[in-house]
Structure 1
Amino acid sequence: MMWINGAEQTQLTARDRAVQFGDGCFTTAAVQQGEIQLFAAHLQRLKQGCERLLMAEPDWQQLEAEMRVAAHNQQQAVLKVILTPGAGGRGYSRAGCSAPTRILSLSPWPQHYQALQQQGVRLVTSPVRLGRNPLLAGIKHLNRLEQVLIRHHLDQTDADEALVLDTEGTVVECCAANLFWREGDTVFTPRLEQAGVAGIMRRYLMAQMAAAGQDCQLIDGSRERLLAADEVVICNALMPVLPVRSIDDITFSARSLYQQLLASCQKMEAS
């Protein structure tokens, strides 16, 4: 199901800025028993995206109501929300855009995550590297061609996800997930000031660790350092957290960090 500006439809004008320039931002949320998980965080992500992209903001109360209506009566589903500056403008200019476009869609719940929780995820290092751009780093904008290419290469392998580096060789993320790793008792996650997406689940898990007095260090780590870790875990709003069993030809068997983060996710679902 899809709604554009509140109406159930699938047709979008070719003049919309999303079509013309990939101009806009989005978020993807888990729906459980009719409720949007981490709802406030997803709204905040959209607001941050609008601010960083200098976009006119939608009516947030209207958007929130539309999101709740879409999620209502859904036992388990994926809700995606896209915001664009709307249609109009000449060339790159937004002049003439009358109002933001709101696109909401519901998709079936991905069933393969449950199996991956038991089996663990296999990562392969992607040949596609993310360009550094601190102006756009962290937000979930609509310019996702790097991820499209990463996914294309991943589909040529038998791996479950991709390990993605930036152009300087620094570990950033996966194709559609963030990552944490453990060295002894210390937990690390990539710094995302130059590239990558600061995911909702990453933020939630970091907050949970901070509340428990556990240090999670943000660093610019190398692939070699990651491969030497005791344990690696990936996460996103849908997974919500999965253990990594291998990266290329390096295997991992420990799951203490995974069990800890999974318990935090279950706490979230019960709240």
Structure 2
Amino acid sequence: MSLPLLTYDPSSQNQRVAAYEVPGDEQPRIFSTDNLLSPSDLGNLIEAAYRQILFHAFAADRETFLESQLRNGQITVRDFIRGLLLSNTFRKSFYDLNSNYRFVEQVIQRALGRDPYNEREKIAWSIVVATKGIKGFIDEVLNTEEYLSSFGYSTVPYQRRRVLPSRAEGELPFNIKSPRYEAYHRAQLGFPQIIWQVEIRRYTPQDKKPKAGDPSQFLGMAQEVNATGNIPQRISSYNIDIEKDVPYRQLAGIK
């Protein structure tokens, strides 16, 4: 007998607040099969799905069978997202290296496009992971009214309301805010590493750099020259024979 999902109170997040927004360059680009104009647009949609779920997919991480089914119209975008969340790459990168609470946080961010409301929501969904497994948990998340009303069957999930017009800076992207490795596993892998930089790097604009023939270019070469002057001689005036040592010049016309 499976346990019912615990109740939790939603908090006021950006995506829950209604507002009038003017589209701009900072707004997220929505990828949906409802407005595809060419086969290349479908390729961009697939790449957007990989970025949303896996952040980056190498050739070995790509699900070519799911891509073929999506291109042939055999599955929907929601089915493709489900396949990526249940893939071996996502399991090894997120589930195997995190606790159930953090795994729930990662799935909510990538599938629902928002942060968890509170700790109680993490506990509620972690119980689903423990009782129904990863597959049952992913299915329940994708069957929620929130997912179906926000993205439906044809839209790739995205971080909702990350940028607000009233703010100078938007919220951090999920891949920066919540890295795939937990603090314990980051310490086991040896990162982040602190690199002490002894030399201070300075940036010189192109118009301030010395041109050819500038004397400042020869300053280093002149400093490397080991120029040693003549050692001054110490001669006492008492030891100088003026008549012999000082030459006598006879002026012309004077005898």
| Larger helix fraction of residues | 2
Give the alignment's TM-score, normalised by structure 1. 0.25
Q: In terms of Rg, which structure is larger? A: 2
Q: Which has the higher contact order (CA 8 A, sep 6+)?
A: 2
